[in-house]
Amino acid sequence: MAYPDDQLGEGEQVLVHRHPHWKLLVGPVLALLVVLAGFGALVLFTESLAWRTPVLAAGGILGFVLLLWLVLTPLLRWRTTHFVVTNHRLMIREGVFTRSGVHIPLGRINSVRSSRGLLDRLLGSGTLIIESASDEPLEFDDIPEVNRVQSLLYGAVEGEPHDHYPEDR
């Protein structure tokens, strides 16, 4: 079973299952293009050098390390971050090797707010702010279609009938 299905209790249904907004992947894609272009330029500019092989090997190792650090790590972090709303609770889970998570029963949520800057409004994302019985409000950044998620979550907290929200597992 995949997350969150392996975490569901009796009668619990997933209403929303989202990863962070795709805008978080723009940087890794640009890094991929820059690393590939840099290695391509290295291949072109070292064509006439006698010591081309060691330079290309060093460039390949550096490119590989950069790809792991700037591309693969953020991609895995994005893929392993889950924002889930069920008919009983809100669950946030993140982490590749070390997982951390927050589970908030819907009955403990006092208010649900959202915040959207200009870029967020253009891209359809935003920050969801949950006030619960804890001391500080919890902020969840880069939630896709934050207004729809806020409305659905508020309705679930109030016990209103709900429709399932399209999932993007």
Q: Taking Cα atoms as reference points, which of 156, 20, 162 lies closest to residue 80? A: 20
Do 56 and 44 meet the contact criterion of CB atoms below 8 Å apart? Answer: no
Answer whether residue 72 is part of any domain: yes
pLDDT tens, position by position, 108-152: 888 889 999 999 999 999 999 998 876 688 889 999 999 888 888
Residue 151 to residue 137: CA distance in whole angstroms? 18
Residue 19: the pLDDT is 93
CB atoms within 10 A of CB 158: 10
pTM (two decimals) = 0.80
Confidence of residue 95 (pLDDT cuts 50, 70, 90): confident
* Domain boundaries, position 31: 25-77
pLDDT tens, position by position, 59-84: 999 999 999 999 999 999 999 999 99
Answer whether residue 3 is part of any domain: no
Residue 138's DSSP bridge partners are 130
Instruction: Determine whether 86 is exposed, middle or buried from the number of CB atoms within 10 Å of its CB (0-12, 13-18, 19+).
Output: buried
Is the domain of 69 the same as that of 99? no
Answer whether residue 169 is part of any domain: no
Q: How many distinct structural domains can be found in the chain?
A: 2
pLDDT of residue 101 exceeding 50: yes
pLDDT of residue 4 exceeding 80: no
